[in-house]
């Protein structure tokens, strides 16, 4: 469960689907209820999000998504990471404890399940 109101989650999901419909997006960190490596979020805590399935050709779409998220009315920042750039131990934790915002069959996740 995410520590967001439904309208905030829907906004993020709409922006993801518009800019990067082929990726899997998983939220992690303090805004995920029960996240084992953080406490309850503060009102200004950011939302951490890892993306699986990004391709080199997605650079412009990713930049546009970041810009959309900065310009939208969310009261906090969304920190986006390419899952391939994260340490494998963190990726494993995200896959296990994170909250899926957009589920697409990224090859990495399908192969490991």
pTM of this prediction?
A: 0.86
Partners of 26 in beta bridges: 50, 100
DSSP state of 40: S
Is the CB of residue 40 less than 8 Å from the CB of residue 3? Answer: yes
Token pair 């993020």 in the structure block, residue: 12
pLDDT score recorded for residue 35: 74
Strand 78-82 to 99-102 pairing: unpaired
Architecture of domain 6-112: 2-Layer Sandwich (3.30)
Q: What is the pLDDT of residue 113?
A: 32
Specify the pLDDT at position 106: 46
- Strand partners of residue 2: 32
Q: Is 27 helix (H, G, I), strand (E, B) or coil?
A: strand
Give the chain's count of helices (H) and strands (E): 4, 4
pLDDT at residue 109, as a whole number: 44
For the chain, the straight-line distance linking the first and the last C-alpha, in angstroms and rounded, comes to: 22
Q: What is the mean pLDDT of each run of 10 residues along the chain (113 residues)?
A: 91 96 94 73 86 96 97 95 96 93 64 37
């Amino acid at each position: 469960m995410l520590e967001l109101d439904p309208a905030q989650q829907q906004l993020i999901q709409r922006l993801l689907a518009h800019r990067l419909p082929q990726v899997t997006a998983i939220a992690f960190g303090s805004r995920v209820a029960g996240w084992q490596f953080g406490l309850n979020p503060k009102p200004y805590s950011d939302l951490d999000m890892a993306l699986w399935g990004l391709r080199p050709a997605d650079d412009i779409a990713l930049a546009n998504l970041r810009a959309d998220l900065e310009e939208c009315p969310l009261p906090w920042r969304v920190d986006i990471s390419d899952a391939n750039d994260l340490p494998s131990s963190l990726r494993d934790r995200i896959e296990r404890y994170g909250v899926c915002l957009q589920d697409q069959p990224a090859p990495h996740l399908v192969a490991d399940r």
